[in-house]
Each structure stands twice: as C-alpha cells, then as structure tokens.
Homo-oligomer: A and B are copies of this chain.
C-alpha cells in the first residue's frame, strides 16, 4: 500500500470511531437511563482518548511527510487538505493546554447553568475569565503570530476571516435594524389558539421531515430537550420536541434539523467515512438548515400546504385563511432570546455576539465589562433594554464551553442560504407551484445535486459559489428579507 492508501485506511477507521462517539452523544440525549450519566462520561472519555491518540499518532506525521499531494487527483488533494489541516491543528496546541481547556469548560458549563438560574452574572465571571484566558492562549498557539480570533473562526468556518465577516455584518446591520424597527411599528398577526396534542404533532412532523427528503430508512426522529442532528452518511438521526400550545416549535425545528440531516445523508457515498464525508463547515451546514426552514418552509407557497395539513390534523386553531396563516408563521415579535428570534432579528443577535467575542479575544474587552457592553448594544439594536441576565449575557451556553468563533457561522449560514435561494429560484422557476403542493423535491434535489453531495470537496466559500454561481454576499439575503417582510407588514 502507498502512504496515501495507508493514511486513508487509518483515517477511515478514525471516522468510523468518530461516528460511534457521536452516536453515544445521541444515546445520551434520547434513550439513556438517567442514572447512567456517571458511567457514560467514563465511556465518552475513553472514546475521546482513543480518538485523540489517533489524531496525534506519529504514523500520521510520517504518512503526511511521505505523500506528495501534487501526484493525487482532485479528491485526493481535498482529502489531504483536511487531514493536513487537522493534524497541524492538533500538533499546535500543547496537550496540557487542551486538557486544561477540557477541564475548565466542563466546570464552567455547570457554573454558567447555575448563574443563569440565579440571575447572577458575577458568579459566572471568574470561571469565564479562566475560559477566556485559556482560549486566548489556544488561539495564540493556533494563530502562529496571526489574528487570534481568525484562528478560532477557522475551527468552524475554514478560511473565513474576522475582518471579512466584520465588513459583511457592518453592511447588514443598519438595514436589519431599520427593517426590524419598521415591522415592529405595525400590528402583529394573529396567534394560534388551542391545544395541539403532542402525538399528532409528531405524526405531522414525520410527514414534514419526509416531505423535505429526509430518509427515515437511514435516520430516525426522537424527542429530546434540544433539537439536534447527529451522525453522517447512512445513520443520521434528528431530534425534535413538542410544546402543546406551540406546534411551530416542533415543526420548524424538525425542518431545520432535516436540513442539517439531509446535507449529511446527501453526501456522495464515495466519500463515506472520509474527511470529505461530512458537511464542510458550520456556515455551510447552517445554510442548509436555514434554507429548508425559512426560504422554503416559511414561504407563502409552502405554508399554504402546511395550513391544510394542520387543519386536517388539529381542526380549527384561530387562524382561518392561508394568507393569515402565512403571516402568523412569519410573525416578528419583540424578544430577548436568540434561539426564539425570527428571520428579521436573528442576525442582529449574532452580530452583537460576534462583536463582543471578537473584542474579548482581541483583548479590547474584559469579562468584567461584558454585561454592560451586551446591554448597551442590545438596546441600540433592538430598541428596548435587557430585563435580566438570563435574557441577556447569560442566555447562551457557547462561551462557557469555549465556543468562540462559532456564533458568526449562524449568520454566515443565513447569508449563504440567501445566495443559494436566489440561484434556486432561477433554476426552478415554478418552485412555488410545487411547494404549494408540499412538494420540495425540485428544491431539495437541486441543493443535493449542487451542494450537498460534494461534502468537503471544496472550501466553504467555493462550495457556495459552485452551487449558487456567485461569491457569497449578503445582498440576496437582505433583498429577500426586505421584500418578504415589506409585503407581509405593508411597508
């Protein structure tokens, strides 16, 4: 066997073990008995230790030294790009530092949950300072003298730079603030009334998942506290949740996770259990979940079909026409919480976090000043003041577990989705007629063919450009939002 073949065989096993570790996580959130948590963390630690040993295996370094990428085909070169990058990253971070981060973030997550429950920011700050200091050190180790925050973004969105995100977000922010402000001056659409039995929600949510092309022969839907998608290739599972008075929570989180899951299920089988066999970045992943959820799932055409389905499943629910139902699905409402935000305001939540965490990592903001900075910025962009820390700086788990550089990929996903949606509309001119029948196959087929199946073959921005025919830009997203919500709210 050549060094390349040996490396790929080794990598294949590593990827298979990664799938096993991921499925342990699924098990923990869905079916694990409550009393098994302590044993489970030992099992997870053992898997993590095996995976770490493989990532730092000296043979990998030897194979990498022996392989001349130029002799490989396009696919081989792409595989090598991923493997070299991942190996270099692992080798740059000292083992003690990685261990310390794992230890401190595990503690910090618990302290964050307590601080949030007791609305006590001060109780969280000491451990957050530890996390920030350690992550700065890690960023410096990764950055090789370059920008620390760039190095962090690179973990989630390879090749993306903070300065480019900043330029993109700075251009988006005033238009989104203006749109939010105009919309919130208008009367709100009707809300749903009544109760929606969880069992019936789950029945309809399965129908929705299949309508969006999710293959239940290689996946499953369970309930969990938080919706998520898990796994790659031929075993990609999603979770959802039901709230008796709010069926949209179930349906739209299902469609969102189906977007993630279809990306994983849609990747070319030839890339199975290789570095190319999974979504290429968090931003591209989010573009799939967002276009499924928003541009398709919350479209006037598709909500017309959903209206009929809901009437069949639940009878009358206080919203009597497809037109009013479309407005209800797309209600823009005041609120503090990112995960509950609508299409108009979601990105404002992200930009706030992006600016703050960039400043934290760059040393321009200290954790002691974080709450005040959050509250000032929130009032500026949303027009009202944060009422309590759990609705403000303590609402997200991310920073406690050291996820700096992750937040911007959510908005990047929206931007990417905007580009893909524009191209999709051109490619499938009668899309609305199909969506009105609950038929997403032309849309999801187009996404599968042009984006999903390629997995990690191209870099993230190239992946979007290949599919949409344009370098990623926020203009299509902004135009879509202004047109859609302008029409909905009579602006």
Contact = CB atoms under 8 A, between A and B. Distances in A.
Given A36-B235, A233-B39, A46 B217 contact: no
A33 B219 contact: yes
Chain A binding site: helix, strand, loop or mixed by DSSP? Answer: helix
Interface residues of A, number: 37
A364 B234 CA distance: 47
A23 interface: yes
Interface in A1-54: 12-13, 16-17, 19-20, 23-24, 27, 31-36, 38-40, 42-43, 45-47, 49-50
A272 interface: yes
Contacts of A273: 39, 42
Contacts of A357: none
A220 interface: yes
Contacts of A27: 23, 27
Nearest to A217: B35
Contacts of A43: 16-17, 19-20, 23
B220 A35 contact: no
A268 to B, nearest CB: 14
Assembly of this chain: how many copies? 2
A218 interface: yes
A216 interface: yes
A215 interface: yes
A49 B14 CA distance: 11
A418 B332 CA distance: 71
A233 B272 CA distance: 34
A33 B216 contact: yes
Interface in A265-316: 272-273
Interface in A188-233: 215-220, 233
A35 B272 contact: no
A345 B256 CA distance: 57
A103 to B, nearest CB: 18
B35 A20 contact: no
Given A17-B46, A40-B235, A215 B35 contact: yes
B220 A31 contact: yes
Contacts of A215: 35
A46 B16 contact: yes
A33 B236 CA distance: 9
A53 to B, nearest CB: 10
A24 B20 contact: yes
A400 B158 CA distance: 50
A444 to B, nearest CB: 18
Contact of A36 (B17, B24, B32, B218): B218
Nearest to A51: B50
Contact of A235 (B17, B39, B216): B39
B17 A47 contact: yes
A468 to B, nearest CB: 30
A23 B27 CA distance: 9
Contact of A31 (B17, B24, B31, B47): B31
Contacts of A19: 39, 43
A46 B51 CA distance: 12
A485 to B, nearest CB: 39
Contact of A217 (B33, B235, B272): B33
A481 B38 CA distance: 43
Contacts of A40: 235
B16 A235 contact: no
Contact of A13 (B24, B49, B235): B49
A120 to B, nearest CB: 31
Contacts of A235: 32-33, 36, 39-40
Most buried by B among A36, A220, A234: A36
Nearest to A16: B46
Nearest to A39: B234
A72 to B, nearest CB: 23
Nearest to A42: B16
Contact of A17 (B32, B50, B220, B237): B50
Nearest to A17: B46
A216 B31 CA distance: 12
A220 to B, nearest CB: 6
A276 to B, nearest CB: 15
6 contacts: A12-B42, A16-B45, A20-B43, A33-B235, A36-B234, A40-B235
5 tightest Cβ-Cβ pairs between the two chains A and B? A16-B46, A36-B235, A35-B217, A35-B218, A39-B234
